[in-house]
Amino acid sequence: MRDETFATAIGNLAVHKLRTTLTMLGMIFGVGAVIAMLSIGAGAEQKALDAIGRLGLRNVLVRAKEVKPEERAELRKKSLGVSLRDGEAIMEAVPNVERVMPRVEVKPYKIMAPGAKTKGKVFGISSRYRDVADVGLAEGRFFDAKDEREHAQVAVIGQEIRRSLFGYGAVLGKQLKVNDVWLEVIGVLANDPEPAAKGTASRSTSKEIWIPVTTAMRKFDRDPLDAPVDELLVTVKEGVSTRATAEIIEPLLQRLHGGADDYEIVVPEELLAQSRKTQQIFNIVMGSIAGISLLVGGIGIMNIMLASVLERTREIGVRRAIGATRKDIRSQFVVESFAISLIGGIAGIIIGIVLARIVAAYAGWPTVITVSSLALSTGVSVAVGLVSGIYPAARAAEMNPVEALRYE
């Protein structure tokens, strides 16, 4: 009997193809919106977590702030800016600090190789940087302590720098020139997704050149009004709270800098917590907006089913006259409503996945299709369909067979 009820319901929907399709549109776009929005949100979350992970959850970053040119001279009377002296003070005065590594940015006015030139960023970093940050190499090696000690003129370059200067051929051992200093390429950085979290470096490593920090400090000129160091990466011991360490570093730096507001402290662990909280709020808001579409779709189903009950009054009377029970009539309309929402939900899943892929391809924004988003959107659409069909089904089942047969 259940198979007969289902077949009858599907047959009735097939008879009115246009009406059924229009009724499904609310479900299709509602489910598609839920999946697309949750996928975009999950992609954004993954991107932010990757960016924060590359900073290292055991690290505290002390960064030189951008200062307006007209304010720098006055500020330097109070403070030298972030410097190696700060790093030494942190190592001596702050407990549970494992190491402090400086990073210096070189401002290039020329980046070239024989027959080619490009633009990019140049950073001097510690040879131990890879010990605390998630950095991959596509080929070659990273500079070591010996390179750093000898101020070696070597470089590890990003993928875009490599393509612009050397194409796709062999690159290790070749020379490139930054300003007036020639550097030997000893490694190429792996492709790295662009960070998307507040407080993380807003750059892609593909357009970067990394050199030993001592080389950057000794062989490249810097504006005397700039901070000696652009960033200090402070690594704490395993199991030690980076937040507590940052709270100790703050007053120490205030004294060393004479109260000058020329630095900022970034704690990746806090960024991680903030990012997750923000993403949760984003998912709730986007899910709620998309859920309204599902609700509208459910109302549409209910309206059409009520109209269908009125339209098929005589049919209901005939079925009751030849032996159909109220339960049979009720089941038929509930199954029709369920079928509309189920088919609409499946079509919505396909559209949602396609939309997510289009966003990923067009905007370069990663999307993550999760099982939970598929289950949530499908479950809600089916539930909305069932609820929307219950009232029309009840009205159909309660009809008086004699009055239904007389209905014109």
Q: Give every CB contact of residue 10 below 8 A, 6+ residues apart in sequence.
A: 339
Confidence of residue 407 (pLDDT cuts 50, 70, 90): low
Q: Would you say 99 and 229 are in contact if contact means Cβ atoms under 8 Å apart?
A: no
Whether pLDDT at 112 is above 80: yes
Q: Give every CB contact of residue 290 below 8 A, 6+ residues apart in sequence.
A: 30, 33, 34, 37, 38, 377
Q: Is residue 231 classed exposed, middle or buried when 0-12, 13-18 and 19+ CB atoms within 10 A define those classes? A: buried
d(CA 388, CA 372) in angstroms, rounded, equals 24
What per-residue confidence (pLDDT) applies to 337?
Answer: 79
Q: Which two tokens stand for residue 95?
A: 């407990």
Q: Would you say 123 and 105 are in contact if contact means Cβ atoms under 8 Å apart?
A: yes
Mean pLDDT of 274-301: 73
What digits encode the pLDDT tens for the residues 14-36?
666 777 777 778 778 878 877 88
Ranked by mean pLDDT, which of 71-75, 110-114, 127-131 comes out on top?
A: 110-114
| Beta-bridge partner residues of 211 | 124
Q: What are phi and psi of 228, to 5 degrees?
A: -60, -35
Q: Would you say 401 and 324 are in contact if contact means Cβ atoms under 8 Å apart?
A: no
What per-residue confidence (pLDDT) applies to 404?
Answer: 57
Confidence of residue 408 (pLDDT cuts 50, 70, 90): low
What's the angle, vertex CA 273, arms to CA 202 and CA 276, rounded to 5? 80
Whether pLDDT at 7 is above 50: yes
- For residue 323, how many C-alpha atoms fall within 13 Å in the half-sphere facing its CB? 1
d(CA 203, CA 351) in angstroms, rounded, equals 33
Q: What are phi and psi of 246, to 5 degrees?
A: -65, -35
What per-residue confidence (pLDDT) applies to 187?
Answer: 95
d(CA 132, CA 61) in angstroms, rounded, equals 12
Whether pLDDT at 196 is above 50: no
Least confident of 49-58, 98-107, 151-160: 49-58
Confidence of residue 9 (pLDDT cuts 50, 70, 90): low
What per-residue confidence (pLDDT) applies to 86?
Answer: 92
Confidence of residue 194 (pLDDT cuts 50, 70, 90): very low
Mean pLDDT of the chain: 80
Whether pLDDT at 165 is above 80: yes
Q: What percentage of the chain exceeds 90 in pLDDT?
A: 27
Whether pLDDT at 306 is above 90: no
d(CA 395, CA 288) in angstroms, rounded, equals 31
Whether pLDDT at 305 is above 60: yes
Mean pLDDT of 338-350: 83
Residue 50 C-alpha from the chain's centroid: 9
What per-residue confidence (pLDDT) applies to 201?
Answer: 40
pTM strictly above 0.95: no
What per-residue confidence (pLDDT) applies to 328?
Answer: 74
